[in-house]
Amino acid sequence: MNENIGSDVSTLPRILFITPCAFNKISGGGITFSNLFNGWPQDCIATVHNDLNPTNDQICNKYFFLGNNEIFFLGPFKKRILLPKQSLAANNIDYDKSSIINKAIRLTKQLLFGNIFPNAGQLTEDLESFINDFQPDIIYTILGSSGIMDIVEQVGDKYKLPVVVHIMDDWISSNYSKGVLSFFERSRVKIRFNRILKNAAETIVISDAMKKEYEKRYGRSFSVFQNTIAVDKWSHNPRVTPIIEKKIFSMVYTGSIFPYAQLDALILACQSVLDLVNSGVKLEFRIYAPEHMSVSLRNMFESEPYIRFFPPLIDDVEYFRTLAEADILLLPSNFDNMSLKYIGFSMPTKVPSYLVSGTPILVIGRQEAAQIQYAKQKKWGLVVTKDDKKKIGENIRILLSNNQLRSDLIENAKQVALQYHDEKVIRLEFQDMFSVVRKRFLHN
């Protein structure tokens, strides 16, 4: 049993996690959930999800995958266009033979509804059986599509359970904006979203900036919980001076790559690195990301010897060693308005691990974004708020040469990690919250 849990184990509520992003070691959300729930008894947590990433069974070993019976698209293409490759195989459908039809359907769907087709969810007998076997006390959810929210509401109503909502991105403001008929699903989603928030027993957001905006927007209080980290365990001794003996400096980026979040900023960073290399700076940019997410960057830069691509780092020891051995860690975000609308209030999962790495951080993005404000206010990163590869390159040079600045950034970063991200405090507060919600619900 994890010593960080403050509540008596015998009284801990049984949590049903309903989510498009389950516990895993790949996605930002999956890592955050794994850290926040680390140490929670496995027999007190179960997950209902439609995440295609491999799940992390160390945190939870009871999973129900939402298939086409539980979540389905509406309209004439019901069920067919929801099928991923795994589901096609399970239904004895030849993926190659269906690829032409699927491509045509996807193109039609994007033209009419953008990236998200109208969908719905239902509580099936199989899902009911899974829930009956588990006997949950609380629903915890990050919400998602109409289908996910349908299931959250149906389970909550049928089993009379309190709902805890945790919002990671302001997707409700940015999704469903493309497509001739996107207004249809946008309206359906917002109705469900507003209703669930209004009735939720507890509402959580990912940053102080989101808390301020959401409290004004939705007229209720929100608490803030971000990713946590074992600061004492993973803190590395600062390496103020870059390792010149390597004969080449290294800048590292780890994590997801989304067109509406980091992709454009990463392209700028790659261009800056190549310009620096051409000017005589010995520098290598190492990008650790899932292959399907880095394909655009690979197509543009894989032939360049100083831009290198690697799979995600899923082993903790290797991950933190890689961060500590880098000369610069990059935290990029796009500058365009659409990206700002989506990630403006977000806080990347990697921030705590970057903070304890002992390596200075270069932060790129719009000054309105929460992660940029956080870095500037707490002085844990060197911030570039100009959409300019030359400016980015100048700041890379500064971080490679100014040892006093490196030392100050590293020290500030560690203090911020201790104060705002240490699992000894944050995880305890997060996990105790569920016992408070359960007691409050029973007394009402």
Q: By the 8 A CB rule, do 350 and 370 touch?
A: no
Q: Is 83 helix (H, G, I), strand (E, B) or coil?
A: coil
What is the signed CA dihedral for 328, 323, 358, 360, rounded to 10 degrees? 20
User: Tens of pLDDT along 294-317?
Assistant: 999 999 999 999 999 999 998 889
Kindly indicate the confidence band of residue 37, based on its pLDDT and cuts at 50, 70 and 90: very high
Q: By the 8 A CB rule, do 336 and 215 touch?
A: no
For residue 384, the surrounding DSSP H or E stretch is: strand 382-384
Task: Give the C-alpha distances (Å, rounded to integers) separating 421 from 191, 231, 424.
Answer: 34, 8, 9
- Per the structure block, which two tokens stand in for 37? 């729930």
**What integer is the mean pLDDT of 216-232?**
94
Asked if 9-228+422-443 and 231-420 have one fold, the answer is: yes
- Class at the top of the CATH hierarchy for domain 231-420: alpha beta
pLDDT score for 185: 73
C-alpha span between 96 and 98 (Å, rounded): 5
Phi/psi of residue 331, nearest 5 degrees: -120, 90
C-alpha span between 287 and 312 (Å, rounded): 9
C-alpha span between 438 and 138 (Å, rounded): 7
Kindly indicate the confidence band of residue 115, based on its pLDDT and cuts at 50, 70 and 90: low
- Per the structure block, which two tokens stand in for 385? 């708020």
| Pick from 417, 246, 410: nearest CA to 328 | 410
Question: Regarding the domain with residue range 9-228+422-443, which homologous superfamily does it belong to in the CATH classification?
Answer: Glycogen Phosphorylase B; (3.40.50.2000)
Amino acid type, 34:
S
Greater confidence, 242 or 380?
380
- Per the structure block, which two tokens stand in for 333? 């975000």
- What residues does each domain of the chain span? 9-228+422-443, 231-420
Q: By the 8 A CB rule, do 207 and 345 touch?
A: yes
User: Tens of pLDDT along 335-358?
Assistant: 999 899 888 999 999 999 999 999
**What integer is the mean pLDDT of 400-404?**
92
- Per the structure block, which two tokens stand in for 352? 């705590």
Question: Which stretch, 26-35, 102-111, 427-436, has highest mean pLDDT?
Answer: 427-436
pLDDT score for 306: 96
User: Tens of pLDDT along 45-88?
Assistant: 999 999 988 898 999 999 999 999 999 877 654 544 444 444 43
Kindly indicate the confidence band of residue 91, based on its pLDDT and cuts at 50, 70 and 90: very low
Q: What percent of the chain has pLDDT over 90?
A: 70
C-alpha span between 324 and 358 (Å, rounded): 6
pLDDT score for 119: 82
| Pick from 298, 280, 291, 324: nearest CA to 413 | 324
Q: By the 8 A CB rule, do 90 and 122 touch?
A: no
Task: Give the C-alpha distances (Å, rounded to integers) separating 56 from 17, 34, 53.
Answer: 14, 8, 9
**What integer is the mean pLDDT of 28-40?**
93
Q: Is the pLDDT of residue 199 over 80?
A: yes
For residue 72, the surrounding DSSP H or E stretch is: strand 71-73
pLDDT score for 421: 93
Beta strand ranges found along 94-248 (DSSP E): 119-121, 138-141, 163-167, 202-205, 223-224
Q: What percent of the chain has pLDDT over 70?
A: 84
C-alpha span between 333 and 364 (Å, rounded): 6
Q: By the 8 A CB rule, do 146 and 189 touch?
A: yes
C-alpha span between 222 and 243 (Å, rounded): 44
Q: By the 8 A CB rule, do 383 and 333 touch?
A: no
